[in-house]
Amino acid sequence: MTTKTTRREILRILTVAASASALGLSGCDSDSNSPDPGPTQGNGAVVPSEALFPQGVASGDPRPDAVVLWTRFFESGQQADATLRLQVSTTENFSQLLVNHDFAARAAADGCLKVRVTGLTAGTRYFYRFLLSRNGDFLASATGRTRTARAATDATPVKFASISCNDYIGRYFTTLMPLLNEDLDFVLHLGDSIYETTGDPSFQGGAAARGISFDDRNGAITLGSAGSTYQAAKSLDNYRQLHRTYRNDSLMKQLYQRFPVVAIWDDHEFSDDSWKAMGTYRDGLFEELDEERRRNAEQAYFEFMPVDTDLGGAQGALGVDRANLYPRTTLYRKLRFGRDLELFLTDYRSYRPDHLIPEDAFPGGVVMDRAALTQYFAPQHIPYEAVRAQFSPYLDIDQPQYAVYKQVLQATLTQAYVNEGIDLGQAALRAQNAARGPVATTILNSLLQQYNAAVPPAQRVPLIPDALIATLDTGIAWYTLGKTSLFGSVGSRYFVVEKTFQIYADWVQRTRGLQTQNAFGDAQLGWLSAQMAASTAKWKVVASSVSMRPLVLDLTNPALGVPAPFNQRFLLNVDQWDGFPQGRWTTLAQLTDGVVILSGDIHATLVGSSSLPPGPHHSGGSAFEITTPAVSSASFRTLLANTAANDPLLAPLAASLLPMLDQLIEQGAELEYVQTTRPGHTLLETDPELFKANIRQYDPQVVLNPPPGSAPSPQREIRFSFDGVFVTGDYQQG
């Protein structure tokens, strides 16, 4: 049966109620009770035909009485509407049907079909399949297996796994194999279920057989340089193709068929290091705001992922209209699993503000001058003169006596911007905006040296003399935060100087308001606070796509021999919560004592506790956090190495320091364990007394080769338990 579709119908979640007497419900997109013998009662044979369902089946967001079931239908090289029958049973041979109902899988939704089945029994395993009626027989998908959540009074321990960051390009999902042998209540996916790029050389590559070339190449974004280009998804077709390819992987398909999946997104479902509808590929070279691209990414995500984000009503179709996608999307939600576990699923990317340090900031620009520093330190009763020497000298280049410096700075910056690929008019405008007001003398003298090296001796300009510099006021310039290039992620999203950034971030929040660091947005933060307060579960688990604990690289030890100005403490990744220190503090204050945070994103294993500031639901306590390793993506150490290699100032240090990365990352009360090279996953189990974690780490080579015949053994297995106050571990660092 085919019908005309509207945009409202494209992303529909359909609902059907299970019934012990459901021998033959039928009716396309309806709740008709017309008689129908059903394939198990009629003469037609059920014939396995998994090729018609190339991504298999999936289930997700289980509740005590409901679960979402999913499939995608595709046939003969073309997409067409099809009427599929969903069958649900408590027996694998479908001898007794609880659901036997017809639905339309529509070409307008790329053949995807999502059905919410209600009226189920808590803590019960169900089997399900989708059928296509043809020539008197029924062509069948693979049989899926799912389990409803346990009732809120059920004290049975809950066992689940957390995974994140499964990059397909050049890599295999081998680390998932051991999970297929587990008996899990569900799998928690913490984000980066796809990667939007087809071969970003900064982190993608490996096995040649694992590549993707977009069918809609004209609809994609082309990145890279001449002779070495790759693409990023932009069109709806691009994003759908990524989901199809990733979910067609044999291991991923098996995982979704065996366990219900509970998922949130991070950045790569849309765009690397994104915030709201903004990309960051060009590092500020030009604006990358693209709301239609964001909506394309979200539409494909909701089509392919078995998430249940609309809980209104018990029967009938529930629309997720494209008009209700970004900026109206609501992905955050909660799920209850038995007496002891409640899961709070958060959304870090949809509401967060821009990174506090712009990628296109001119390194010599001064963001906190003497007046700002004086104002900042006054409440601490610290006079400016007491801290003056800790910051960077600057001069007001608009003063008449510095006119020649202003002229040279504008000319030098104009050429620098042209060299970055900006047309002359825009380059001159950028240079004019940068060469004004307070400018750090360190950067100014560096540019003067470049200018003098390029002009005849008669045109050279003397550098700012040390005697003058000693008399100047000081402040915080972008370069004293770590920003050393006109356009770049170093000093804006990565390798940020901790000391000056903490001051700057605090000052921004004080002078511009809380919204500069409110990554969850007011509505989500209020929801989280209220739901935390109302929860009766022993274990309140917050699923965060990015880590909430500080990640500091300490290069201050003289024995390391790190030269100035690099012998400092750096925040390694301010794209995560480290980029919003006061916002992080405000968010942690909304949590309750003994909360557990599960995070991903960073392709490393991190374990520790975060101190909770006094808040509405507690007087101060701690939260136990586990950052799970990547399924297959390039390790955090590799990402840092590639980032540093592209920065001429950091590159010489990277080769000697990165092998010691795990030891150089500051560990203590908030970070007890760190490991930055191995992929893997985390097994978690709750009981009334302990929250237990078993983190399995694998040899990095396993993701570069096709999966073996049997599941590989972990290279290392570490175990932690949390009793609500204290963390104990069974591991060796390294």
Of 139-143, 146-150, 542-546, 639-643, minimum mean pLDDT range: 639-643
pLDDT for 23 beyond 60:
no
Question: What is the average pLDDT across 222-230?
Answer: 91
Please answer whether residues 128 and 69 qualify as being in contact, where contact means their C-beta atoms are separated by less than 8 angstroms: yes
The span from the CA of 187 to the CA of 197, in Å, is 25
pLDDT for 311 beyond 70:
no
Q: Using the 8-state DSSP alphabet, how is residue 365 labeled?
A: B
Question: What is the average pLDDT across 628-633?
Answer: 98
The confidence score (pLDDT) of residue 569 equals: 96
> What is the pLDDT confidence band of residue 318, given thresholds at 50, 70 and 90?
very low
The confidence score (pLDDT) of residue 12 equals: 56
Distance of CA 534 to the CA centre of its chain: 27
Adjacent-strand bridge partners of 569: 554
Question: What is the average pLDDT across 640-667?
Answer: 87
Q: What is the pLDDT of residues 334-351, one digit of tens each?
A: 999 999 999 999 999 999
Contacts of 31 (CB under 8 A, 6+ apart): 16, 17, 25, 315, 316
The span from the CA of 626 to the CA of 683, in Å, is 11
Distance of CA 440 to the CA centre of its chain: 35
- What is the secondary structure of 233-250 as a DSSP string? --SHHHHHHHHHHHHHSH
> What is the pLDDT confidence band of residue 8, given thresholds at 50, 70 and 90?
very low
CA angle 588, 594, 600 (to 5 degrees): 60
Contacts of 56 (CB under 8 A, 6+ apart): 50, 71, 141, 142, 144, 247, 253, 254, 256, 257
Question: What is the average pLDDT across 308-328?
Answer: 63
Q: Does residue 64 have a cis peptide bond before it, meaning omega lies within 30 degrees of 0?
A: no
664 three-state secondary structure? helix
Of 2-6, 246-250, 275-279, 631-635, minimum mean pLDDT range: 2-6
pLDDT for 59 beyond 70:
yes
Please answer whether residues 261 and 306 qualify as being in contact, where contact means their C-beta atoms are separated by less than 8 angstroms: yes
88 three-state secondary structure? strand
Please answer whether residues 25 and 106 qualify as being in contact, where contact means their C-beta atoms are separated by less than 8 angstroms: no
Please answer whether residues 89 and 95 qualify as being in contact, where contact means their C-beta atoms are separated by less than 8 angstroms: yes
Of 128-137, 305-314, 319-328, 381-390, minimum mean pLDDT range: 305-314
Of 19-33, 292-306, 686-700, minimum mean pLDDT range: 19-33
Residue with more model confidence, 486 or 653: 486
Please, what are the domains in the chain? Answer: 7-147 (2.60.40.380), 158-276+327-352+518-702+717-730 (3.60.21.70), 366-512 (no CATH)
CA angle 638, 600, 697 (to 5 degrees): 65
Percent of the chain at pLDDT > 70 equals: 93
The span from the CA of 638 to the CA of 495, in Å, is 14
The span from the CA of 236 to the CA of 295, in Å, is 8
Of 146-150, 277-281, 517-521, 646-650, minimum mean pLDDT range: 646-650
Q: What is the pLDDT of residues 509-536, one digit of tens each?
A: 999 999 999 999 999 999 999 999 999 9
Adjacent-strand bridge partners of 58: 70
The confidence score (pLDDT) of residue 320 equals: 53
Percent of the chain at pLDDT > 90 equals: 83
The confidence score (pLDDT) of residue 656 equals: 85
The confidence score (pLDDT) of residue 4 equals: 41
Question: What is the average pLDDT across 701-718?
Answer: 97
pLDDT for 211 beyond 60:
yes
Hunting for tokens 């009732």 — which residue is that? Answer: 151
pLDDT for 711 beyond 60:
yes
Q: What is the pLDDT of residues 585-620, one digit of tens each?
A: 999 999 998 899 999 999 999 999 878 888 888 777
> What is the pLDDT confidence band of residue 313, given thresholds at 50, 70 and 90?
very low
The confidence score (pLDDT) of residue 89 equals: 98
Hunting for tokens 């203590």 — which residue is that? Answer: 668
pLDDT for 450 beyond 60:
yes
Please answer whether residues 132 and 138 qualify as being in contact, where contact means their C-beta atoms are separated by less than 8 angstroms: yes
Contacts of 399 (CB under 8 A, 6+ apart): none
The span from the CA of 129 to the CA of 114, in Å, is 12
Question: What is the average pLDDT across 13-22?
Answer: 70
What φ, ψ does residue 250 adopt, rounded to 5°?
Answer: -60, -45
The confidence score (pLDDT) of residue 227 equals: 82
Question: What is the average pLDDT across 242-251?
Answer: 98
- What is the secondary structure of 43-78 as a DSSP string? S--EEE-GGGSTT-EEEEEEETTEEEEEEE--BTTB
> What is the pLDDT confidence band of residue 678, given thresholds at 50, 70 and 90?
very high
Distance of CA 646 to the CA centre of its chain: 23
pLDDT for 312 beyond 70:
no
pLDDT for 543 beyond 60:
yes
Q: For the whole model, what pTM was predicted?
A: 0.94
Question: What is the average pLDDT across 280-290?
Answer: 96
Q: What is the mean pLDDT of the chain?
A: 92
The confidence score (pLDDT) of residue 323 equals: 81
pLDDT for 317 beyond 80:
no
Record the tokens describing residue 601, joined without a space: 């994103």
Q: What is the pLDDT of residues 164-204, one digit of tens each?
A: 999 999 999 999 999 999 999 999 999 999 999 999 999 99
pLDDT for 414 beyond 50:
yes
Helix, strand and coil percent figures for the chain, each rounded to 5 = 30, 25, 45
The span from the CA of 73 to the CA of 83, in Å, is 10
Q: Does residue 327 have a cis peptide bond before it, meaning omega lies within 30 degrees of 0?
A: yes
Torsion angle defined by CA atoms of residues 564, 606, 187 and 349, in that order, rounded to the nearest 10 degrees: -40
